Structure 1
């Protein structure tokens, strides 16, 4: 496993981003040099707060399970795991600091960033120095990260529908979307969403919430923040470290609140076309579903009415088409990455096809 800071240089919503440095986690396959295998890239998109550190045990456990799968006789694939922060949760990934003239990143900014990152991640550098493209790309998203993942597929789908031109970038082989506790429609109608949406409507909250949050945590040493998260909030060690990092950062609280408020107005009615959910071209007999949705029960960030409508629509469309939907029956929480990551890694690994 390698933990690095990486990312493209560019601008987002008029913000000057000079040498974007986004924290990442990367778990290469032990079989990546084997040219007889199909090479698959799994890109993980976190929820909000968008720190990849919350998912370290989940992804490392997933890596161990994938290693076991790759070692079995007859295995024909290798899997490369990659995950990164959402923008704005690391003070090093943006310049200048957030202000009224350079506000935090929006949901659209996050979607654009991941859409731009995928082509950059689509090749693997071998020990020989050769760069080979991944045969398949899978995008896994949690919560709002699931919405970002579907939007990445949607925009790629629209691009493929356009007539080819010399300026068109080479097509990515986006294979599968793995969507965990997905917040993909009417998030403001969910139990927690209704609370945040009411706060969003308050001028005082909009102007002062992030300042108050920073004022409350700034005097507290980071080691004390970790203790509070672990002992008082009963978070696991890795989650308390990630939460303390988030709270102690200069702009993290503002980014989380800003993105959360934007989610309330941006994640509403599903606007994706029916053919997005289907595989392009004929489907092979053993080919995995294009999208795998894992919904929780009692998820306070998901509106159950909108969820049930979505599930019914998918089941009515060609008998389910390229979509598989699973409802959790084991009481795994929306924030599975904090405590239930070993069990959930086992559930997720079977969907990579």
Structure 2
């Protein structure tokens, strides 16, 4: 693995998954992925590696969220964990990508070609990062956005989704679910890792007919590592669940930002929806497809595979399958 850290005057020390291009990259092509919540980069390693195998000139970067894992947890003057909001994460990703663009420009004086991928909440964040990048005069003529790929994005009315509705009820009923989850996390630390791996592996098994076609849960080890790190860390659960509460407020039914992104003619936007998604209702999905499917430089699609449909949490055991789909949609814009 190529886990590194990015840090500067404007950027808090942040874990990133970084891979240099496998071939010459004179065009400065960057593939940058912004995760969903929880924003742990380990989930996306296998997926990104497969993409780079098909497009070897990509320089790969996956940026972790603030507030996850011990090295990224801060406390206030009273010793309480600082919780980062969705808006904090937007500013954080903007500053990191701005640093990447400026650093590369200082070396080569050439524009960077930015290919963006985002997952779930990452789509909402990426839309706003794009606008901040385009509005920053100091970045003028330093970069081009070539491709904006949003995977099972939660960019509209998340509170009406199946999971959003359940979470909203817990919030309204004042159920202390964050504290309960943190307490359970402490208990999990007493369960052997081998037992947790066994439970998770069996829970993520593909259907029998898929296993018979030589599907072997490719990349499962990275997913297991990330999940065990996450569920065994009270601070990670604290950040994740409190940020999820914030999502219920900020990801509303407004399409002001969606209008700007989906109708932008200067880069291509691809939006991929699962057939059934507990974070995206059919009504929300159909609303976005109906509203933006005729926009120039835009493609919105629903997973067509009925036998083994791509799920919202594709990173758990469908990384290879979805990498093939991603490369197919992205490749016309690489050259």
Query: What TM-score results when the alignment is normalised by the length of structure 2?
Result: 0.83
Asked if the contact 1:2–1:25 (Cα under 8 Å) also holds between the matched residues in 2, the reply is yes
Structure 1 alignment gaps of length 5 or more: 11-18, 68-77, 282-288
Q: How does 1:60-79 map to 2 (within 5 A)?
A: 60-67=49-56, 78-79=57-58
Matched with 1:31 is 23
The question of 1:263 aligning with 2:254 is answered: no
In the TM superposition, residue 323 of structure 1 has moved relative to its aligned partner by 1.3
1:70 alignment partner in structure 2? none
Q: How far is the alpha carbon of 1:223 from its aligned partner?
A: 4.5
Partner residue in 2 for 1:324: 299
**Cα gap change, 1:277/1:202 in structure 2, threshold over 3 Å: closer, same or farther?**
same
Per-residue deviation, 1:276: 3.5
Contact 1:226 1:243 in 2 (8 A): no
SS at match of 1:109: helix
CA deviations 1:141-161 (Å, max 9, x no partner) are: 00111111111123334x16x
SS in 2 for 1:139: strand
Alpha-carbon deviation of 1:329?
A: 1.0
1:59 to 48, 51, 59: 48
Determine the C-alpha separation between the residues in 2 that align with 1:260 and 1:170. Answer: 34
Q: Hey, which of these two has a bigger chunk of helix by percent?
A: 2
3-state DSSP class of the match of 1:325? Answer: strand
Shift of 1:21: 2.8
Q: So what's the TM-score if we normalise by structure 1?
A: 0.79
In structure 1, distance between residues paired with 2:67 and 2:3: 18
Distance 1:342 1:207, change over 3 A: closer
Match of 2:34 in 1: 45
CA deviations on 1:178-227 (whole Å, 9 max, x unpaired) are 00111111111111111111112232325623433333323334444334
1:138-149 alignment runs, 5 A limit: 138-149=115-126
1:2 partnered with 2:2: yes
Please provide the CA RMSD for this pair.
2.7
Give the Cα–Cα distance (whole angstroms) in 2 for the partners of residues 280 and 323 of structure 1.
9
Show the counterpart of 2:214.
none
CA contact (8 A) 1:24 1:52 kept: yes
Correspondence list, 1:300-315, <5 A: 300-315=278-293
The total of aligned residue pairs comes to 313
The yes-or-no answer on 1:107 pairing with 2:92 is: no
Q: In structure 1, how many angstroms separate the alpha carbons of the residues matched to 2:158 and 2:114? A: 27
SS in 2 for 1:291: strand
Q: Is the 8 A contact 1:124 1:134 kept in 2?
A: no
